[in-house]
Amino acid sequence: MTLRTQQTCAAVAPFAVWMALLMALPAKAEMYAVRTAVVGLLMLGLCLGFRPWRQAIRSFRPSFWGLAVGFLVLFLWVWPEQFAFYRQYCILGSPSTVEVDHGSKLLLGLQLLGSAFVIAPSEEIFYRHFLYRWLDRTAGHWTEASGTRFDLSAFLWTVGLFAVGHNRLVVGVMAGVLYGLLAIKKGLGASVVAHVTTNLALGLYVLQTGNWQFW
């Protein structure tokens, strides 16, 4: 296996493992904790062993644009839920049945941490950096430090695939567009900050209000 193939596998592995465990394990707080632990340890190993992941972590720093986009996506994700039409026709699947008594505070805390600091970075590495560059055949390899140019076809495919992976397609598209433009204009670190901000703030909102449908 060549070094480039190893690096590609390293980019895909955390997100792929998360999705595989999501499909294989029951939708319970305990299983979310298992997914968080497994993928979190995998990401830690990659950060220690692969330069691209170390570079991504080093670029994870306070970012005005990252925070601004993160909170904007949070608003777009939550605000439409007040409309019956949106709830009936724009959300796929049945509402979440997670409740506080289904898991201890520790398990809910792990779900918050997993959503913000495990799945959000792994999605950004996969969608905004690896997949986008793979679809844009004229761009550099995902491990290269050169800037990312805008390619409409690659951008739309990435946004569409990201939206399909979430049960709220309309706001999923909006989030994909905002995260994608941010990654292109300000770099992967900014989009990671934005996604982490959205997921962390959304998790805190869920714990505070009991709107479990967002989890």
Domain count, the chain: 1
Token representation of residue 28? 């319970």
Sequential pLDDT tens for the chain (215 residues): 666 777 788 889 999 999 999 999 988 888 989 999 999 999 988 888 776 666 666 656 667 999 999 999 999 999 999 898 898 888 876 555 444 455 588 888 999 999 999 999 999 989 998 899 888 875 555 555 445 788 999 999 999 999 999 989 999 999 999 999 999 998 888 999 999 999 999 999 999 998 888 88
In this prediction, residue 57 carries a pLDDT of: 63
* Gap between the Cα atoms of 163 and 97, Å rounded: 22
- Say how far residue 14 (Cα) sits from the centre of its chain: 11
Q: What angle do CA 190, 191, 195 make, to 5 degrees?
A: 120
In this prediction, residue 114 carries a pLDDT of: 93
- What residue type is 64 in one-letter code? F
* Gap between the Cα atoms of 92 and 32, Å rounded: 20
Domain of residue 20 covers 3-214
